[in-house]
Amino acid sequence: GAVVSQHPSRVICKSGTSVKIECRSLDFQATTMFWYRQFPKKSLMLMATSNEGSKATYEQGVEKDKFLINHASLTLSTLTVTSAHPEDSSFYICSASPRDNTSPLHFGNGTRLTVT
């Protein structure tokens, strides 16, 4: 089945630094990937839609200069949390779909970001 790999699984960084999270589709091409954020005991919230070769589409309230998304190839999207602050600490999850509107989205295993 379709596999989505996310790296790193955990990262601890200091306030003011930037952190890059990678999301790869291992056995299929994904023109679109999605980035979600999840706080403890809460549901997933969509942050942005990553489109290969074009600018990402951000959800309302998500700062595009804070959360930089790059989707340079059909198998890789990256999310960079810039100038991280403790309130950016969260669980970040990416997902991708093999192709069409009915194929299931498959998710990475998430990245636990802790900003100290």
Partner 1 sequence: DAKTTQPPSMDCAEGRAANLPCNHSTISGNEYVYWYRQIHSQGPQYIIHGLKNNETNEMASLIITEDRKSSTLILPPATLRDTAVYYCIVRVSRGRGAQNLVFGQGTRLTINP
Residue owning tokens 């890059």: 20
Enclosing H/E stretch for 12: strand 10-13
Of 82 and 112, the one with the shorter C-beta distance to partner 1 is: 112
Two structure tokens written together for 52: 């290969």
- Contact call for residue 7 and partner 1 (CB under 8 A): no
Q: Using CB under 8 A as the criterion, what x/- string covers residues 14-53 for binding partner 1?
A: ----------------xxx-x-x------xxxx--x----
CA 64 distance to own-chain centroid: 13
- Contact call for residue 67 and partner 1 (CB under 8 A): no
Please tell me the distance from the alpha carbon of residue 105 to that of residue 111, in angstroms, as a whole number. Answer: 18
- Contact call for residue 74 and partner 1 (CB under 8 A): no
- Contact call for residue 13 and partner 1 (CB under 8 A): no
**Which residues on neighbouring strands pair with residue 47, listed in sequence order?**
none
- Contact call for residue 6 and partner 1 (CB under 8 A): yes
Q: How many other CB atoms sit within 10 Å of the CB of residue 35?
A: 25
**Contact residues: partner 1, CB under 8 A:** 4, 6, 30-32, 34, 36, 43-46, 49, 91, 93, 95-97, 99-110, 112
